[in-house]
Amino acid sequence: MKLLSKVEKSRDFWFLLIASFVFFLLRLPSLFEPYWYGDEGIYEVLGSAIRQGRILYEGIWDNKPPLLYIVYAVFNGDQFYARLLSLIFGILATITFFFLSRKLFGQRKHEQKIAMWTTGIFAVIFALPLIEGNIANSENFMLFPIILSALLLFKEKINFKIYFFAGLLLGIAFLFKIVAIFDFAAFATFIFIATTKFKKRKLDLLKAARDTFTHLLPFAIGFAAPIIFTALFFLGSPFKYFIQATFVQNVGYVGYGNKLIIPQGFLVLKLVLLGAFCLYLLFRKDKFSKAVLFILVWFAFSLFNAFFAQRPYTHYLLVLLPSFSLLIGLISLDKKYKLHLSVLLTIVLFLVFSKFNLYGKTPFYYQNFISFILGGKTVAEYRGFFDKKTPVDYQIAEFIKAKTSNEDKIFIWGNNSQVYKLTNKLPPGRYAVTYHITGYKDGIENTQSAINKTAPKFIIVMPNVSSVPFSLSSYGNATRIENVVIYERVF
C-alpha cells in the first residue's frame, strides 16, 4: 500500500502515464490504416514467406538485416500486429527517453521540467505520421534499444557488464537496420572522449589507448555478439545472400547521392566535418559537462546518419529524433551555449526541410480517421486518402480471391507487393517487386524459372512499370480493373 501511495504521488509516474496515453492516441489510427505502404508490403510478403518455410534471402529477398522480417514473420505478415508492436516499442522508447533526459539534465526542479518538455517533444513527433512514425519500419523498432543503451552508459557505476549490455542492445538495433552502426560509433566516440585524460594539456596517447581499450572492449564485444550469432545462423547456402543484404548492398545504395567530384566525394566531406567536430570536442572537453558532450556527439553522428545515403526518405529522420529532442532541451538548460546551439539547430532545421519531405497531410490524417469511424467516409474514400491506388489494390485482391483456390499461384508485375498479402499469396520467385526483379542480375532469370515451375493462374500487370519481360503466350482472357490488366492462364 505504501508503494502504491508513493506511485500515486509521483509526478514522474503521472507524467509518463499521460505521455504514454497521448502517444497511444496519436498512434491509434495507424493500426487501422489499409495495406498501402510499399516497403511494408515487402516486409509483409517476407514475413508470410518465412512462416511458410522459405529461407530468408535465399528463398525470399529484401536488402536489410533479418530482425525486421522476423518481427513480421511472428505475425505472419499481419500489418495490425506489426504496427501494434511498433506502438508498444514507441511507448517503451518514450519512457526510456524520459529517464535518459532526467540523467542528462539533472534532478533540480527546473531541470526536471526540461526533461518533461524534451520527452514531450520526442513523444509527440515520434507518434505522429509527420516523419512516418505510423509506419512499422526498422527505425521505429530501433529507437527503444538505442535509447536504452544510452541510459545504461549513464548509470552511476559503469562496469564490464554494463558496457557489454549497452553494446548488445546496439547490436540488436543493428539487426533491424545497419545504420545503428552510427549510434555505436557515437557512443564509442563519447566513451573515448569522456575517458581520455590530458597530461599538462597534452594527450597521453599510450594511456588514452589503454583506457579506451579497457572501456570499449566489452562494449564492442556486446555489439558484435548478436551480429556474429546471426551470421552463424545463416552459415551455408544462404550466407552469401545474408552478407549481400546486410552489408554489400548498402555500398551501392550509399553511392547513389554522394557523388561530389569523385563517386563518394560528398560522403568524404561529411566524414571530414564529423571528424573535425569530434576532435574539437575532444580537445575542448573540459569546457563541457559529460552530459553536454554526450548530446553533442550523439547529435553529430545522428545528423550524419540521417544524411548518410543522401536520399530524401522521410523515415530516415527518426534516427535523428532522440538527439534532436535532447539538443532542444540542452538549449533551454545551458544559457552559456544557448546562442551557439540555437544557430546549430537553425542550420539543421534548414537542411532537414530542404532535403526531406515531411508528411504534410498530418492534420488531415486524423480528420480522415475520425470522419471514417463516424460514418462520414466510405471504405474506399478512407483508403484512397493514403494513396489513390489503394482502393484499386483491394479490388484486385477481391477479384483474385474470388477466382482462385489456396493452391493457385499469382504473379504481380508491379511494385505494390501488399497485393500478395491481401490475396494470401506469395510471389513465385525470390523477388516481390519489379524494381528488385530488374535491379538484380538474377532477377529476370530467377522469376522466369519460378513462373515456369509454378504456372501462376493469374499474371497481374500494374501501370507505370516497364513492359513485362516474360512470355504471356499461355495467358489470355484479360480483365481490366482501372488501369491494371489481369491475364488468366488458358493452357
pLDDT band at 272 (very low <50, low <70, confident <90, very high): very high
Q: What is the pLDDT of residue 452?
A: 96
Query: Domain for residue 51, yes or no?
Result: yes
Average pLDDT estimate for 10-17: 93
- The mean per-residue pLDDT over the stretch 56-81 comes to 97
Q: Is the pLDDT of residue 180 over 70?
A: yes
Cα angle 292-178-87, degrees, rounded to a multiple of 5: 75
For residue range 107-144, what is the model confidence (pLDDT) as tens digits?
Answer: 888 889 999 999 999 999 999 999 999 999 999 999 99
**All cell numbers assigned to 42:** 515487402
Identity of the amino acid at 309: A
pLDDT mean over 309-327: 94
Same domain for 331 and 422, yes or no, is no
* 134 and 73 within one domain: yes
Q: What is the CB neighbour count within 10 angstroms for residue 197?
A: 11
State the pLDDT confidence band at 359, using cuts at 50, 70 and 90: very high
Asked whether residue 293 falls in the same domain as residue 347, the answer is: yes
Tally of CB atoms within 10 A around 223:
29
Q: Is residue 455 part of a domain?
A: yes
End-to-end CA distance of the chain: give it in Å, rounded: 75
Average pLDDT, the chain: 92
Average pLDDT value for residue range 308-322: 93
Write the pLDDT tens digit of every residue in 291-312: 999 999 999 999 999 998 888 8
pLDDT, position 155:
86
pLDDT of residue 1: 47
Query: Do 319 and 215 sit in the same domain of this protein?
Result: yes
Evaluate if residue 373 carries a pLDDT over 50: yes
Helix (H, G, I), strand (E, B) or coil at 413: strand
Cβ atoms of 490 and 475 closer than 8 Å: yes
Nearest CA to 468 out of 484, 491, 479, 490 is that of 484
pTM over 0.85: yes
Residues 275 and 297: their CA atoms lie apart, in Å, by: 10
Residue tagged 481490366 (cell numbers): 480
Q: Judge whether 429 and 446 are in contact, CB under 8 Å.
A: yes
pLDDT at 71: 98
Q: Is the pLDDT of residue 149 over 60?
A: yes
State the DSSP H helix or E strand holding residue 458, giving kind and residue range, or none if neither: strand 458-461
Question: Residues 325, 451: one domain?
Answer: no
Q: How confident is the model at residue 281 (pLDDT cuts 50, 70, 90)?
A: very high
pLDDT in tens, 433-476: 999 999 999 999 999 999 999 999 999 999 999 999 999 999 99
430, pLDDT greater than 50: yes
Q: Is 467 inside a domain boundary?
A: yes
Is 417 within a domain? Answer: yes
> Based on the number of CB atoms within 10 Å of its own CB, is 213 exposed (0-12), middle (13-18) or buried (19 or more)?
exposed
Domain that holds residue 440: 388-489
- Please tell me whether residues 197 and 306 are part of one structural domain: yes
Q: How confident is the model at residue 370 (pLDDT cuts 50, 70, 90)?
A: very high
**Are residues 414 and 484 both part of a single domain?**
yes
Residues in the chain: 491
Say how far apart CA 434 and CA 439 lie, in whole Å.
8
pLDDT > 80? residue 257:
no
How many Å is the Cα radius of gyration of the chain?
25
Tens-place pLDDT, residues 238-256? 899 999 888 877 655 555 6
Same domain, 296 and 431: no
Indicate whether 361 belongs to any domain.
Answer: no
Cα 395 to Cα 382: distance, rounded to the nearest angstrom:
14
For residue 240, being part of any structural domain is answered with yes
In this structure, are 346 and 419 located in the same domain?
no
Q: How many CB atoms lie within 10 A of CB 107?
A: 9
At 410, phi and psi to the nearest 5? Answer: -135, 160
Sign of CA dihedral 454, 417, 255, 299: negative
In a domain, 64, yes or no: yes
List Cβ neighbours of 220 (8 Å cut-off, separation of 6 or more): 167, 188
Q: Number of structural domains, the chain?
A: 2
Q: How far apart (Å, rounded) are the C-alpha atoms in residues 111 and 103?
A: 10
Distance, in Å, from the CA atom of 92 to the CA atom of 111, rounded to the nearest integer, reads 22
Q: Is pLDDT larger for residue 205 or for residue 98?
A: 98
Residue 404 in domain: yes
Confidence bin at 201 (pLDDT 50/70/90) = low
